[in-house]
Each structure stands twice: as structure tokens, then as C-alpha cells.
Amino acid sequence: MADWTESYRPSTLSEVRGNNKARDAFEEWGKTWDDHGEAVILYGSPGVGKTSAAHALAADMGWKTVELNASDQRTADAIERFAGRAARNTTLGGSEEGVSGRQLVIVDEADNIHGNYDRGGAQAVTSLVKGANQPIVLIANEFYEMSRGLRNACQDIEFRDVSARSIVPVLRDICRKEEIEFDADALQRIADANSGDLRGAVKDLQATAEGKEKLTVDDVVMGARDTTVGIFTVLDAILKEKSAQEALYTAYDADETPDDLTAWVEDKVMKVYDPGETVRAYEFLANADRWLGRVLATQNYSYWRYVTDNVAAGVAASHDETRGGWTQYGGRPQMWPSSDATIDEICRKVADAEGTSIETARREILPFLSAAIHHCKPRELAVAVTAYFQFDESALSAVSGSGESTNKVQGIVEDAEELREDALEAHAGGAFAGAPRETSGDDDGDDPEESPDAGESEPQAAAADDDDGADVDEESTDDSQAGLSDFV
């Protein structure tokens, strides 16, 4: 299911709707960049077309783009690595015919570069815009969340909320391209319900109209609702019984916040879906988790609608057929709020091991680890993951959803510790060759190489031989960069 917000993204600035004044000012900035050389900040509410306008300008000017999402890569090192070199290039050789040698550097969510783990990021962006030899666009929701120094170093253009009058023609054009007949009142109702958010209106249109030959006002059931439904009814609707549109409407009535609904669906999807369906579903769950990360970073809860779109409509669209019958979903899933000290520590361990930012670990790696070792299955993989990241019982419990005090979790942690010891010994270049793994009753201090009888009782005793030991050393050197694959 293609995302209509991407399929129908404006390809030129003339197609950007609802912000004509801002669009024209932005176009003027681009055309005169060689004269002033300043960066520009596009700011305004989510979904009003800021990022689309940046890409459209690049297409109009024949510029290539380098995009940096500030939520994922926002440390000083990452900003310099991803955007710094492109922004400081004076000329770019080898341009194709008809394509400018310039690059447009787009920094999305520029107002979110802050926090304990993003030190240096804000200063790096300010330095970037002051020393750039290429045009830079900073995308922000809140203009005054950025530092004064950064604001003063840039031009700024405000994108206002898109009026319903401007949203309706966009919805109408999409319906015509999708060959969907429509009632004008239905499109008006979608536009009115989205309060200036063009992107949200397009998403609601897709959820409502996709698969239909005609869209009527009766199909649009948005707005306030007086009833709520239980979580198991919602799970049945999403995972088993309903179409994408019907599942979305059911989710609107859920007595759960979008973050909790995401955790529920992620925890229960494999109880219903086959492997192929699960893979597709997790693409949408990953998208939902990114939007949740933006909510946490910005405290802008209008992003929640995009979470529900992905968790309900997206996951429901991932199943090949509807299902009946009763499913034993089990209890409430393991939740991990961002303030949870255990999850914070897990994210730090994952980030250190994988060389990523903590936010990337939290939003992209941790959900997949949770799915991979859900309830500590398969056990061998759970042991390998626990060993690689050095999880203790509380960390493994949080990631897998299994009880911390269970014999299963405790046994896996013990096996993981043993696996780590074996791996360290295997990659020690023969340093431990012939050394007994446990202290024996013989404390005479004899050199193991001079005590072959004792050494031969251990599996690694062959390494005590000089010739065989050389082979061990050579193999260990080749595998010195051990990673998770070694444990698996």
C-alpha cells in the first residue's frame, strides 16, 4: 500500500498549496542565494508542506539534496559527517547535463537538537550555517525553540496552517488520479476535521477511500465519539477482522493512547500473522515508532494521528485475509516509557555496541530486538543477544517481555555469561590456552605448559602444543572484530 503523502508530494513549488506567500518568498530565497549566501528556516505546524517545499525547490533549481533528520543524527559529529562536508563544498564537479552543481542541505526537525545526549549538536548546526558554501534549509515546528544565534544567522519564512479551502482541491486531485468518485461534502468533512494539517487530511483520505469506487459522506466517520471500545476488540479489528479503513475507525474509539496501542499491537501481532504478514506489519510499526519519537522529542501530540494511521490502518492492511475465531492474546505487554531507567540503560548499551545514537537505538534497534527475542524465543538467539549486549535479568525482561524472576530469564542470563567467557577465550589469541577455567584443588603453581596431564583434561588443551597454538593464534587474529554474528 503506497503512502499517498509520498506518491502525491509536490514535485515543483507551483504545486505547493495553501501557503502562496511563503512559497514565493522561499522561491526568491533560492533564486538569489548566490547573492546573499544565507541559510533559511522554514517553520510552522506539522503537515503544512515545509519539507515538501524544500524538495520541490531543489527540483525547480536543479539542485541535489542532502537530508539530515535531526531526531536520528543530531550530535556534533553526526551533523558534521552527514551535512558538514556537503555544505562546505565550494563546487561539485561531474554534474549531469541540466543539473546544477549545488546541493541543498535539508536539516529536518532543527528545533529538536537539544538534550543530554545531543551535546554540541546545536552549536554544530549554527557553525554549519555560518560557514556553508551551499544552500541550507532548516525545517522547524517551533521557531523560538532554536537558539538566538541560530535564528539570527538565517532568514526565516513562516508556513501557516493550510485552510480547508486549500485542502479540498488537493484531495479532489488525488481522488481523480486514483479514479475514485466522490461527494464534495465528504472531502469537505475530511478537510475540516484536520485543522490545517494537509498531510493529515491526505492520510485520512487514503484510509477512508482506498479500495472504493466512490467516496460518500457516510464513509467519513471522523470527529468526536461518545463511546470507547476495549483493547481486545481493537486487536481483533486490526489483526483479524477488519479492513484498513474499518480498523482505523475502531482504533479511533480505543480506550488506549497511541503509544500504548502501538505496544499492544507490536506485542500481539505474531500471535496472529504468518511470517510474511508480520514483516509487512513491522514496517508500519517502525513508522509508528518514529512518530512516537517525534512526540517525545517535541511534545507535539498532533503527531499521534500518524501513529494511529500506521498502527491501525497499516498493520490491518498487512494481513492477506481476514480471520475469525478466538485468540488468546494474553496479558498487558511490557511497556517502556522514555523515563524508565532500565530502558535508558539498555539504549545506552545498544548505542555503544552498535555505534549509533541513543535515539536510534531506542526507536529503531530496540523494537526489532524485542520482536526477535519475544518471550525469549528462540532461546539460542536470546542467549546470543543477551551475551552481546551484556544484558542482566532486568534488561532481558524489559526487552523480551518475559518476567524478570522467571527461571527462563535467569537461565538465559547465566548461559549468556558462559557464552561471553567462551567468546573472549576464543578471541584472546591463545592468551588463555591451557589455563584451567576453574581453580582446582592443586595450588602448586606449576606452569600449565609443564603439566600436560592437567592441561589435557580441558577441551582447549590442544592449544598448549606450540604448533597447534600457532594455528589458533592465526584464526583468532582473523576474527578479532567480533560482533553479534559471532554469538549467533
Residue 226 resides in a domain: no
Same-domain pairing of 39 and 128: yes
Residues 28, 120 within the same domain: yes
Residue 51: CATH number of its domain: 3.40.50.300
Residue 357's domain comprises 341-425
The model's pLDDT over 389-410, given as tens digits with 9 standing for 90+, comes to: 999 888 888 888 776 667 788 8
Nearest to 19 by CA among 140, 167, 229, 151: 167
Q: ω into residue 275 within 30 of 0, thus cis?
A: no
- Classify residue 224: in a domain, yes or no: no
Write down the pLDDT at residue 21: 94
Instruction: Judge whether 38 lies within some domain.
Output: yes
Question: Do 108 and 235 fall within a single domain?
Answer: no
Looking at residue 428, its pLDDT comes to 60
Q: How far is the C-alpha of 406 from the C-alpha of 400, rounded, in Å?
A: 12
| Residues in Cβ contact with 259 at an 8 Å cutoff, skipping those fewer than 6 apart | 292, 295, 307
- Whether 198 and 269 map to the same domain: the answer is no
Domain shared by 11 and 154, yes or no? yes
Q: What is the pLDDT of residue 231?
A: 81
Domain endpoint, select from 380, 406, 425: 425
Q: What sign has the CA pseudo-torsion 423, 427, 428, 432?
A: positive
Domain match, 154 and 11 both: yes
User: Would you say residue 248 lies in a domain?
Assistant: yes
* Type of residue at 113: I
The CATH number for 204's domain is: 1.10.8.60
Residue 476 in domain: no
CA 349 to chain centroid, in Å, comes to 18
- Name residues of the chain where pLDDT drops below 50: 70-72, 91-99, 115-119, 223-227, 336-339, 432-482, 486-487
Burial string for 148-165 (b: 16+ CB within 10 Å, else e) reads eebbebbebbebebbebe
Same domain, 146 and 175: no
Q: How many domains does the chain have?
A: 4
Is residue 28 in a domain? yes
Distances (CA, A) of 234 to 224, 245, 269: 18, 13, 12
14 and 60 assigned to the same domain: yes
User: 37 with 153, same domain?
Assistant: yes
pTM to 2 decimal places = 0.50
- Is 485 part of a structural domain of the chain? no
In a domain, 21, yes or no: yes
What's the confidence (pLDDT) of residue 82? 56
pLDDT tens-digit profile of 12-55? 999 998 899 999 999 999 999 999 999 999 999 888 999 999 99
Listed residue (96, 109, 92) closest to 51, CA to CA: 109
Query: What is the model's pLDDT at position 369?
Result: 86
pLDDT for 335: 52
